Structure 1
Amino acid sequence: MSVSNRPPIRVGMIGIGNWAQHGPIRVLNLLPDYALSTLFSQRRKAAEVGAAKYGFDHVADSVGDLVRRPEVDLVAVLTTAPQHAAGIRAAIEAGKDVYCEWPLTTSTALSQELATLAEAKGVRTFTSLQRRFAPFNRYVKDLIGEGYIGRLRSVRMHVSMNYFQPQLPKALAWTAPSENFSSMVAIYAGHFLDMLFYAVGWPESIQALAVNQFPKVKIVETGEEIATTNADEFVLTGLLPDNAVVTVHLEGGKRNGSGVQIDISGTEGDLRVTNTSAFGDVGDDYRIFGARGDKLDLQPMPIPSKYDVLPKAGLPSAVMEAAENFAAFARDVRDGTSTAPTFLDAIRMHRLIDTALSSSDSGRRSAFDASLFG
């Protein structure tokens, strides 16, 4: 349902790779608050085919052409992480609101530079830290806030995925160099840590361990081996407000039984969240279990319907999380609010990962300031 009778937000999209087609394009076609206006790809033929297939009105000749078009209100940057900055900068300099996938850029400093530029230009920004808006996560956040478990004592999250084994298709060889910030830690830790801390609160101090167990990655098509320092095992412990403790373990390259489990304990009760997938395809839905009291079995807690108000579309759960994010941004445009995650939220996640990796190198616990600032 449209959030208002306002004209739709006209989107100019830079890039039409696999995720763009799997996620954002389907989201934008689902939500009546948006219209697909203009598409640019470095391969003109791909843009022409994509525009015809998905209903874009125009094909741009360049990034500069796209961002200058009056029929574009919002620029969506859907290229690879090393290419994000160029598209973001062009959109901001043209005075256009801009959306970009996480990781925002390949470094905290570059992301901060772009956020500062956006603020100076007065343009809205938002990014794809969308798992925070999953219906289950908003429900868990409210349960904790309403006192279901009493005072929060501990949080444990384990996330594992079949991805990030020691082989890559040639098309993804660019993700192996650590400077491209497209690793398991950059992508999965970024998304899941933001999701978790949105619900339970941000840590005040952390200590981390990032381990590379696959120092060489083989390219499937050629057999070429590429050296990499990217961690495929990541453990973070920390102290939350009010002396609660948090432990997170992310595990890449898991052959079997991957998924998500979150245990949240308090002085009055407990919650458990599970999913058999860390990505989220059709039917990969999170389940919540809880109990208040002593020595009780955890019981299923269906998510109330008020947390799931988007149009029914039979889309993968990961795609519907993106839809929640775009719906939040549309409400922000209407109401002048700022509920969708902005570039400042992305910078906070950049800083958290920087702090964690520094802690892993030093072996020391580090303070963390979770406040948002430009």
Structure 2
Amino acid sequence: MAPIRIGIVGLSSKPGAWATLAHLPRLASSPNFQIVALCNSSLESTRAAIKAHHLPESTKAYDTYEALAADPDVDLYVVSTRADTHYEVAMPALQAGRNVYVEWPLAATTAQAVEMAALAKQKNLKTIIGLQGRVAPSVRKVKELVDSGALGDIHSVNFQGAIHVWQNNAAGNRYHYFMDRKVGGNLLTIYGGHILDSIFYALGELAPGKYVPLAGNLRPKMHITQEDGSLSKELYDKDTPDQILLQGRLDRSPPAVFSFHLRAGDRFINGPGSVWKIYGTKGELAVEFASAGPQIGAATSIRFSNAEKGEVEDITWDEGGSEWTDLPTQGQNIGRLYEAYAAGEAYGDFDLAVKRHQLIDEFWATLE
């Protein structure tokens, strides 16, 4: 089978940039993919990226989305740009009949996401939404344990996480844009969407009409961390949440209760970034992550408090060996998402993205 030919928008020449860490490593090493074209804001920057990443001289350089979308050699058009540009970057590819991968969130607004998904369906295109938590081996291990009945009937699910930004009442240098809802990328949309999708993948969706979301903006004005590390004297407006909560029931039998809390700010010193607990009639599963959610990096531990045996068991799972663990942490689950697409396995598409966007809108309606 010939490799899937990839065209990427947003792979810069910077070594620490997101696409460099998250998309390039697996795409460059997998026999199932071949990067054939890049597109950045100028031909100069695109050519610089091709050179910096040692891509073949045959790799085509573009400076417009339309030109990349029109390239007949591109099988999968990849959007790795900021959320507020996703619509304008992806639409030329959808209109040209290209299969498209877009990072989560799909767009800055639900209306844009709905339009993108509808066009993809109209043209019968394959789409990928970058909700990569559902292909993470540790998340799949949790799903396996739940589905196998090892925990018995599930009665409650609790998730608590903290994203390590906005310390000292300041927006970190990398996360200024999290303060502006119009950008589309923030604690609620990015982290909330990723984590909730992973949980729903493993345990089932919310029971319709049986949940209550809540978003709170308790830091409506914040300092900004400047390039030299100092804090701005001015306070800047913030219209995005720093506290996200959800309580309700999951659509399963019996209808397990669900509690979710994600916040910004300092984490508990030397503590995990997030803790996910699942209580069943046979015991309780406790999963810890170094980050705020399961989409980036493997769990640091999965433990089962076995009520029948009266002991705690350490659960092991397979991360796939060094071909995966040697990749940058950011690129491991995204790489697995690409491979799921290549193998024709299950992954999230634009229709799933719209469903997640619609839930996030319910949080926005509660924001104070």
Which category describes the TM-score, using the shorter chain as reference length? 0.7 to 0.9
Quick check: 1:279–1:318 contact (8 Å CA) kept in 2? no
Change (3 A) 1:11 1:61: same
Change (3 A) 1:40 1:20: same
Shift, 1:279, TM fit: 6.3
Structure 2 residue 99 is matched with structure 1 residue 85: no
Shift, 1:282, TM fit: 10
Report the AA paired with residue 208 of structure 1: P
Specify the alignment match of 2:246 in structure 1.
Answer: 236
Measured against aligned partners, the alpha-carbon deviations of 1:254-279 in whole angstroms (never above 9, x if no partner) come to 24335111110111222111122236
Measured against aligned partners, the alpha-carbon deviations of 1:135-187 in whole angstroms (never above 9, x if no partner) come to 01111101111100111100011111212444346665443211222111111
Structure-2 separation of matches of 1:41 and 1:161: 30
Change (3 A) 1:172 1:266: closer
Counterpart pick for 1:296 among 310, 334, 354: 310
Quick check: 2:140–2:202 contact (8 Å CA) kept in 1? yes
More displaced stretch, 201-210 vs 174-183: 174-183
Specify the alignment match of 2:97 in structure 1.
Answer: 95
Report the AA paired with residue 196 of structure 1: I
Quick check: 1:285–1:317 contact (8 Å CA) kept in 2? no
Give the unaligned 5+ runs of structure 2. Answer: none
Specify the alignment match of 2:126 in structure 1.
Answer: 124
More displaced stretch, 285-294 vs 82-91: 285-294
Specify the alignment match of 2:22 in structure 1.
Answer: 23
Quick check: 1:208–1:357 contact (8 Å CA) kept in 2? no
Structure-1 separation of matches of 2:46 and 2:2: 25
RMSD: 2.3
Change (3 A) 1:281 1:157: closer
Quick check: 2:46–2:63 contact (8 Å CA) kept in 1? no
Figure out how many residues of one structure are paired with residues of the other and give that number: 349
More displaced stretch, 221-230 vs 316-325: 221-230
Structure-1 separation of matches of 2:103 and 2:132: 10
Which SS does the other structure have where 1:106 is aligned? Answer: coil
Specify the alignment match of 2:186 in structure 1.
Answer: 183
Report the AA paired with residue 24 of structure 1: H
Shift, 1:284, TM fit: 5.8
Change (3 A) 1:180 1:133: same
Structure-2 separation of matches of 1:59 and 1:171: 28
Counterpart pick for 1:150 among 149, 152, 173: 152
More displaced stretch, 43-52 vs 140-149: 43-52
Structure 2 residue 219 is matched with structure 1 residue 214: yes
Report the AA paired with residue 48 of structure 1: R
Structure 2 residue 8 is matched with structure 1 residue 13: yes
Measured against aligned partners, the alpha-carbon deviations of 1:174-206 in whole angstroms (never above 9, x if no partner) come to 432112221111110110000111001111122
Change (3 A) 1:351 1:141: same
Measured against aligned partners, the alpha-carbon deviations of 1:92-122 in whole angstroms (never above 9, x if no partner) come to 1111100000011011111011100011112
Which SS does the other structure have where 1:32 is aligned? Answer: coil
Specify the alignment match of 2:114 in structure 1.
Answer: 112
Report the AA paired with residue 239 of structure 1: R
Structure-2 separation of matches of 1:155 and 1:283: 21
Shift, 1:70, TM fit: 1.6
Report the AA paired with residue 278 of structure 1: A
Query: 1:163-182 maps to which residues of 2 (within 5 A)?
Result: 163-165=165-167, 166-168=169-171, 172-182=175-185
Change (3 A) 1:283 1:107: closer
Measured against aligned partners, the alpha-carbon deviations of 1:269-300 in whole angstroms (never above 9, x if no partner) come to 22111122236899864321113325834221
Change (3 A) 1:237 1:218: same
Counterpart pick for 1:271 among 285, 294, 302: 285
Change (3 A) 1:309 1:119: farther
Specify the alignment match of 2:203 in structure 1.
Answer: 200
Quick check: 1:277–1:284 contact (8 Å CA) kept in 2? no
Quick check: 2:37–2:74 contact (8 Å CA) kept in 1? yes
Structure-1 separation of matches of 2:72 and 2:322: 29
Specify the alignment match of 2:237 in structure 1.
Answer: 227
Quick check: 1:212–1:229 contact (8 Å CA) kept in 2? yes
**Seq. identity, %:** 29
